[in-house]
Structure formats: structure tokens, C-alpha cells
Structure 1
Amino acid sequence: MDMHLTGKRALVTGSSAGLGEATAKMLAAEGAAVVVHGRDAARANAVAKKIRDAGGRADVAIGDLANDAGADAVANQALAGGDIDILVNNAGHYHHLDWHTSTPDVWAETYQINVLSGVRMIQRLVPAMVKRGWGRVIQIGGGLASQPIPMQPDYEASLAARHNLAVSLARRLKDTGVTSNIVSPGAILVPAVKDLLEKIAPSHGWGESWDEIERGCVNDMVPNDIGRLGRPEEIASAVTYLASVHAGYISGATLRVDGGTVRSVN
């Protein structure tokens, strides 16, 4: 299926690794010119080089979206190569904390990085999309937004905020040609997750081979209908679809890519 992304430019925040890297690569493979964003120039440039070596087009924007100055710098770098038609707000982080250890200062930091970073980029880039009459804004959310657990309360609340703001934005963008949607991943096998699971596997009795560890993790921690962890490319596929012309009638929606982890009809 042709996604008709040739001639479009996309900024993927937090794309120097993980889900963001996979998304930038897939958008580029479908014809979009991408802007790889990160705080580490070497890592961002390495991703951009991989995209170019594969025949794609990639620029780089470096900056910390947790403050206005950094967001200004990223927007200016991204726009230096042309208009941004697709904004993927992926940048974010989380702590392994609970209600006893996640202090108000930690909550504030989490919101700056996970919520306000996206707001900053929306306010800097979306008005121009509206003027041109076409655009796509996609938040990377997560199932913990709707099915919280006792751990990581600040992170879960920030995910819920990302989901909520995307729907509010969709309502605001009515009749503009710009859509706002959410991709909600389940547990995804990125390198950091694999390292963590291999480290904790002995204490859970999951075995030694990766197949045994993955199966044990899914059974004990993230049960789903597919019986495995997701892959970054599966998130990238969902983002690419929502960014395409084929998703023009989708607005304010959450596309769950979680193997059926979330048990809900909504």
C-alpha cells in the first residue's frame, strides 16, 4: 500500500533510539523526509546516517524539549529544511519509582519531559499545518494511561495526559485538514527492556534462553492475546498509517498496539 508520504516532512521527537528510531526509519522508507531528534548529537546523527545510507532523506535536530529554549532550538532546526507536515511526539522517559519514592519534584520533571515537551512542539509547528490545510499530529501514549498499576504513578499520569491532550487537540483542529491521534504501545522489546528482563529472569525462574525469558515475562507480567512482546517496527507501522493519506477520516482516536493487553471495548 502506498502511504503517499513522498513530499512530506516529519519530525519524530526522541528518535535517536528505540521506538522513535524505528518510526523515523519507516517513515523515511515510505518516502517522507524525516527529522531525527535527540539530545545526543552523535546518536541522532548515527540514525540519520542509517536512513540516508538506505536511500532515505534525513535531517537532525538537537535539543532538550523539557524547556522553552530547547524547544525553540529544535523547531528552528527542523524547519530549516522545510515545512513540517507530520509531528510524532515520542520523546519521554520514566523512573522505576512508586508512590513512596516518586516525589512532587519527580512528578514535575516527568510532566515537563513527557507532556509539556509535546505541547511545546504542537504550539510551534501545528499552526503552520493549519494554514497549509494538511497535517498529522501523533502522540505516543501507552496502555498504562487507562490501566494503571501501583508502580510509576507519575509516568502513568503523564501518559493519560498525552492521551487526553491529543483528543482535545483533535476537537480544536476540526475542519482544518490536520488530525490528532494516539498510538498506544504495550510492552515493546527495545534493547533496554531486553537487558532488564535478562537481568531479572533468574529471580523469576524464567529460564536462560531468550524464548523462555520472553514467554515467562508475558505470562507473569504482561499477559496478552498474542503471547509475546511487541517489536518497535509494529509501533512504527501504526504511526506510519496514521501519518498517511489513508487515515484522513481518523480523528481523536487511540490505536492500541499491545497484543490485546488492554481489556476494554473502547
Structure 2
Amino acid sequence: MKTELESRRALVTGASSGLGEAIARMLAAEGAAVVVHGRDEARTRKVAADIVEAGGVADIAIGDLANDEGAEAVAKQALAGGAIDILVNNAGYYHHLDWHTATPDKWAETFEVNVFSAVRMIQRIVPPMVSRGWGRVIQIGGGLAEQPATLHPDYQASLAARHNLAVSLARQLKDTGVTSNIVAPGAILVPSVRKLLEEIAPKQGWGESWEAIERGCVNDMVPNDVGRLGRPEEVAAAVTYLASGLAGYVSGATLRVDGGTVRSAF
């Protein structure tokens, strides 16, 4: 299956670790030239260097997307090496908060990082795509946007905003050759998640081996139809499909990569 990415250039935000890193690596492996974005220059350069060592093409863009100045700097760095055909808005984070501790200032901070950062990059990167008549815009959302729980209310609302803005953007991009979609991961086994689960496993009584810990986590916290946590490469594969020439007829869609965690027929 040919993804037709050899002539494309992609900017992946928050690509110095975790899901973003996996996405950047897979897009590069499929032939796209990748701009690896991050705030930590050393980690960002390491990811880009690994991609180049593996035979790919990678540049870097350093900056904080939570403010206009940082976003402008990142856009300039990304565009300095050529046009951007694919924008993956992955950068984001969450506090471990609940409805008692998620104060309005924390909500504002979460939305700056998780929502307004995406808006800033869309407004800087997408208009040239429209002018050229081809482009892909992909938001990394999540199942909690559709089925929220009690914890992390600010984070869950920010995911819902990401889903909403992606569909609104798809309507705006009608007949332009540029598509806008969402990839919605479930619980994915990035290093930070594994570390957290290993720390809480003794209190939860999940056992000591990683296999037992993962099984306990899935049974008690994130039940799904596959019976395990997702892997970053599985999310990256979904992004790669939507970024490719194979997905030209897909826009305004949510592609869930969650093992069936979200219980919905639509």
C-alpha cells in the first residue's frame, strides 16, 4: 500500500517524546520530510537525529505554542525549510486535577496549551495549503471528548474543543483540497503512562510483572474490547493514513484508536 508521502512535508507538534515522536518517526519512515517540534531543544534534536540516522529527512522547530510569540517562531522555523503539507496538532498536556482542584486559571492554562496552540498553528500553516490546493490537518483528540469522566474536567473539555474545531475547520476547507480530521487515542502505553502504572500497581494489587500490571489496569481502569493498552505506533499508523494520499475522501471524521473503549455506534 503506497501512502504517497514521499513528496510531502509534515510538521508534528509536541514530537520530542510520546505519541508525537512515534508519529514523526512513522511519517518519516513513509517518506515524508518531517519537522519535529518541541520545547526542549536537546530532546527535539535527538528525535530528529534518530530519524535522519534511520534514513529519513527531519528538521526541528523549537518553541512554546502556548503564546503567540512562540507559535510565530515555530511557524517560521518550520516554513524555512519549505512548504508544510501536513500539520499534526499533537502538543498538549494535562494536570492531575478534579472538580475541586481544577480552578479557572488551570482551565485557562489547559486551553492555552491544548486548544489555542492548535488554533495558532492552523492560522499560520493552513492558508498556504489552501493556496496550493492540497493539505492535511490532523488533531490528536481522545475518547474522553465523547465520554468524559469525573477526573481531569479541564483536559476533557479541551479534547472536546479539539474535536469540534477540527470539524468546523473541515467545513471551512470545503472544495480546497485540504482535509481536517481527528485521531482519538484511548489509553496508550507511552513511557510516562508505564511509569505511572508501575508506581500505583502495588496499591491496586495488580502484581509485579508488567503483563500483570497492564492486565490489571485494563480490567480496573480502561476496559476495552482488545484487552490491552494501545501502542504509540498504532496511533501513528492512523495519523499516517489520514495524512496520506489514500485519505483524500475523508474529512471531518474521527478515527478512534482505543481498542473499543468508547461505546458508540457513531
Q: TM-score range by the shorter chain?
A: over 0.9
Partner of 2:261: 261
Cα root mean square deviation, aligned: 0.3
SS of residue matched to 2:147: coil
Partner of 2:22: 22
Distance (Å, rounded) in 2 between the aligned partners of 1:231 and 1:32: 22
Distance (Å, rounded) in 2 between the aligned partners of 1:127 and 1:190: 33
Partner of 1:161: 161
**TM alignment of 1:35-74, pairs within 5 A:** 35-74=35-74
Q: Give TM-score, length-normalised by structure 1.
A: 1.00
Partner of 2:84: 84
SS of residue matched to 1:82: coil
| One-letter amino acid matched to 1:96 | H
Distance (Å, rounded) in 2 between the aligned partners of 1:80 and 1:109: 29
Consecutive unaligned residues in structure 2, runs of 5 or more:
none
CA drift of 1:133 comes to 0.1
CA drift of 1:180 comes to 0.0
CA drift of 1:21 comes to 0.2
CA drift of 1:7 comes to 1.2
Distance (Å, rounded) in 1 between the aligned partners of 2:187 and 2:83: 33
Partner of 1:141: 141
**TM alignment of 1:153-192, pairs within 5 A:** 153-192=153-192
**TM alignment of 1:71-150, pairs within 5 A:** 71-150=71-150
| One-letter amino acid matched to 1:180 | S
Partner of 2:217: 217
Deviations 1:29-73 (A, max 9, x none): 000000000000000000000000000000000000000000000
CA drift of 1:226 comes to 0.3
Matched length: 266
| One-letter amino acid matched to 2:40 | D
SS of residue matched to 2:60: strand
Q: Give TM-score, length-normalised by structure 2.
A: 1.00
CA drift of 1:166 comes to 0.1
| One-letter amino acid matched to 2:142 | G
| One-letter amino acid matched to 1:259 | G
Partner of 1:6: 6
SS of residue matched to 2:88: strand
| One-letter amino acid matched to 1:128 | P
CA drift of 1:213 comes to 0.2
Distance (Å, rounded) in 2 between the aligned partners of 1:109 and 1:195: 25
Distance (Å, rounded) in 2 between the aligned partners of 1:21 and 1:264: 29
Q: Which runs of 4+ in 1 moved over 3 A?
A: none
CA drift of 1:2 comes to 1.1
Partner of 1:152: 152
Consecutive unaligned residues in structure 1, runs of 5 or more:
none
| One-letter amino acid matched to 1:125 | I
**TM alignment of 1:222-233, pairs within 5 A:** 222-233=222-233
Distance (Å, rounded) in 1 between the aligned partners of 2:29 and 2:190: 20
Distance (Å, rounded) in 2 between the aligned partners of 1:24 and 1:59: 11
